[in-house]
Amino acid sequence: MKKAKWLFLFPALLIACRQQEVADDRLIIAASIAPLADFCRQVGGERVSVFTIVPSGANPHTFELDPQLLIRISEARLLVLNGLGLEYWADKVADNFSSRDLQVITVSQGIPVLQDEDHAEGNPHVWLNPLHAARQAEKITGALMRLDPLHAQTYRDRSDQYQKVLHDLDVEISREIAGWQNRRFICFHPSWNYFSERYHLEQAAVIEKRPGFEPSPGEAAEIIGLAKRLQVRAIFAEQQFPLKIAEMIAAESGARVLVLDPLGSDGEGYSYVSLLRTNVAQMAIALR
Ligand SMILES: [Zn+2]
């Protein structure tokens, strides 16, 4: 009922908002998550003004759009979505805008999808493989070139440079992980499947059996048994999820809890490259 009310009010808010003059001619881009926002900035440079929809620290699987965010999205020319069900709220945006106002691109399209029990539409965490990230950045490049053909060459050049940065990052991570003694981990939520596929890590178990639900005592005992049997050293936890259960499993099995962050806090100094480096450094504490 509450939602129906603000949707009803929305057209009036939208008109009020469109009447405000935009101070510069930069292309406004709304990106669903911080890594995609960074790809837009890397390719768009000074030509774009980018904001992130899912705020720092929020879990994208449970995040809800509010009317203020819908208003901000209404000011954008381009909406960049990851896809694979990560933006389950995207229909709400589509209901409110005609395709003429807002270009929408889904940047996981074309990337081979991994399936798991936690994600009904396939695992959406594709960006954690830097080579998939490179494909996502390329999709953004195409969209910017179409939307702003006058500056197409600038986008092309910046994108080519960034492709090299991402491929170098892939080589750097491959080299680091090649030297690790342990490759098995347990995670709270299966965020690292594409990363693991790329760098040959092995996900032994997932603590969260269904999104938003903690395991039963029986399921937790099963995971502890598995962790002991397979001598798992690392439990990948995330700030967005409850730490207590991961700590309990770690205490019982002798593994170590590593707090990872698949999204990072968008803001000054944020970059996807440093996000991945920080996560790899965390993993290395237990796996190297
Ligand atoms: Zn997920």
Q: In angstroms, what is the span from residue 191 Cα to ligand 1's centroid?
A: 5
Q: Say what the pLDDT of residue 205 is.
A: 94
Q: What is the DSSP letter of 77?
A: S
The pLDDT, as a whole number, for residue 239 is 81
Q: If we measure between CA atoms, which residue out of 51, 59, 14 comes closest to residue 6? A: 14
CA of 262 to the centre of ligand 1 (A): 10
User: Residue 83's Cα: distance from chain center in Å?
Assistant: 10
Q: To the nearest whole number, what is the mean pLDDT of the chain?
A: 90
Q: Which residue has the higher pLDDT, 149 or 244?
A: 149
Single-letter amino acid code for the residue at 133 = A
Residue 20 has pLDDT above 50, yes or no: no
**What residue ranges define each of the domains in the chain, with the CATH number in brackets?**
11-172 (3.40.50.1980), 181-287 (3.40.50.1980)
Supply the pLDDT for residue 10. Answer: 54
Q: For residue 99, what pLDDT band results from cuts at 50, 70 and 90?
A: low
- Alpha-carbon distances of 265 from 34, 138, 262, 273, rounded to whole Å: 7, 23, 10, 13
Judged against a pLDDT cut of 70, whether residue 191 lies above it is answered with: yes
Binned at pLDDT 50, 70 and 90, residue 266 comes out as confident
Q: Reply yes or no on whether the pLDDT at 32 is more than 60.
A: yes
The pLDDT value recorded for residue 269 is: 87
Residue 71 CA to ligand 1 centre (angstroms): 26
Neighbouring CB atoms inside 10 A of 203's CB total 19
Query: Measured in angstroms, how far is the CA atom of residue 114 from the centroid of ligand 1?
Result: 12
SS3 19: coil
Q: Which residues contact 155 (CB under 8 A, 6 or more apart)?
A: 43, 44, 47, 141, 144, 145, 148
**Distance from the CA of 84 to the center of ligand 1, in angstroms?**
10
Residue 64 in this model has a pLDDT that exceeds 80? yes
Beta bridge partners of 259: 237
Report how far apart, in Å, the C-alpha atoms of 180 and of each of 167, 173, 218, 227, 277 are: 21, 11, 32, 18, 15
pLDDT of residue 98: 65
Least confident of 96-100, 104-108, 265-269: 96-100
61 Cα to the center of ligand 1, angstroms: 7
Highest mean pLDDT out of 1-15, 77-91, 229-243: 77-91
Cα(56) to ligand 1 centroid in Å equals: 16
* Ligand 1 centroid to residue 66 C-alpha, Å: 21
- Centroid of ligand 1 to alpha carbon of 22 (angstroms): 36
Whole-number Å distance between alpha carbons of 51 and 31: 6
What are the two backbone dihedrals, phi and then psi, of residue 234, each rounded to the nearest 5 degrees? -130, 135
